[in-house]
Amino acid sequence: MINNSSLQKWDRLKQKQLDTQFVNSLIQGMNCSQFEAKAILNAVYETYQPFFDNSGTMKPGQVLFEVVSIENGAQKKLSECKMVSVVLTLDAGEEDLQAREQLGVQGLRRHRLQRVVTEAFQQGGLLTVEDIANRLLNCGERTVCRDIKAFKDQGVVLPLRSTVRDMGKSITHRALIVKQWLSGKEYTEIARATHHSIDAIANYVDKFKRVVCLAKNNYEIKTIAFLVKISPSLAQEYYDLYHSIDAVPHRNEELDDLIKKSCQND
């Protein structure tokens, strides 16, 4: 025999749950159906769940920040991009105090810049110059661009949307990676400095080698770009890099051997 009073008790307890209260508010206040109300609830969870998950574990000085997901292609409009929530450290306490004391205001800003872009990247997101300047560090976009260039001059490529996804004028990050390889650095060392995967770096170097070999076999740049499956501008950039940089001896030997093999195969 079913105990009706027991069923009513569980029904009353269910009504006290926040999910049920939210669904009932939608049904009564917006004249939604049960199905529509639950669909809205699910959408709310998908949007705000990262905040619920991180709100109890975030440290002082950290913020939850919405950034463009690394999954988005370079040509995708920002309004259509998938977003992800990442935890960024704006103030690392004693670590930042030491940076301020030793490096000054500019040094502290650059220290924080490198930290937040790396944190976002490690969590599957990519920051933009606009994000950093206007929402995180409260400085001018030109200032951020100068900071990024300062890192680039040191051979450090920050993992921004413009560099990782080859947008705008930042396509040269591939050439910078190849330049480090030509200087004698190994893939693991380059990966740490540029925040790229070892597979990505190996892919860049391989395409650089193919460009050089095809150019040495008198192929035109447009044909090379088609065969290697890169843009003509990048193919030209790789070829110019080969002629302009003084590579370490063992890299030159590696390229010379590859060119000789390609000539023999032809």
Domain's final residue, options 124, 147, 166 = 166
18 falls within a domain: no
pTM: 0.57
Q: Which of 121-125, 162-166, 169-173 has the lowest mean pLDDT?
A: 169-173
Residues 204 and 230 grouped into a single domain:
yes
Residues 226 and 181 grouped into a single domain:
yes
* pLDDT of 170 above 50: no
Residues 162 and 251 grouped into a single domain:
no
13 falls within a domain: no
pLDDT digits 0-9 by tens, 56-74: 567 888 988 988 888 776 6
Q: Quick one: which of 183, 187, 231, 185 has its CA closest to 211?
A: 231
The single residue listed with the structure tokens 């933009």 is: 128
192 falls within a domain: yes
Residues 69 and 147 grouped into a single domain:
yes
Residues 113 and 177 grouped into a single domain:
no
Q: Count CA within 13 A, CB hemisphere, residue 256.
A: 7
Residues 213 and 150 grouped into a single domain:
no
Residues 75 and 160 grouped into a single domain:
yes
Question: Contact, 221 vs 159, CB < 8 A?
Answer: no
Residues 160 and 184 grouped into a single domain:
no
Instruction: Look at the chain and report how many structural domains it folds into.
Output: 2
- pLDDT, mean over the chain: 81
Give the residue numbers spanning the domain of 73: 56-166
Which residues, including other chains, have CB under 8 Å from residue 41's CB and lie 6 or more apart? 19, 22, 23, 26
Residues 82 and 181 grouped into a single domain:
no
Residues 162 and 258 grouped into a single domain:
no
What letter would DSSP give residue 133? I
Q: Which of 49-58, 133-142, 156-165 reaches the highest mean pLDDT?
A: 133-142
pLDDT digits 0-9 by tens, 212-265: 989 888 889 889 989 988 888 888 888 888 888 888 888 888 888 888 776 655
Q: Which of 12-26, 117-131, 168-182, 211-225 has the lowest mean pLDDT?
A: 12-26
> What are all long-range contacts of 32-36, with beta carbons under 8 Å and residues at least 24 apart?
none
Chain Cα centroid distance, residue 67: 9
Q: Give the pLDDT of residue 15.
A: 44
Question: Contact, 62 vs 89, CB < 8 A?
Answer: yes
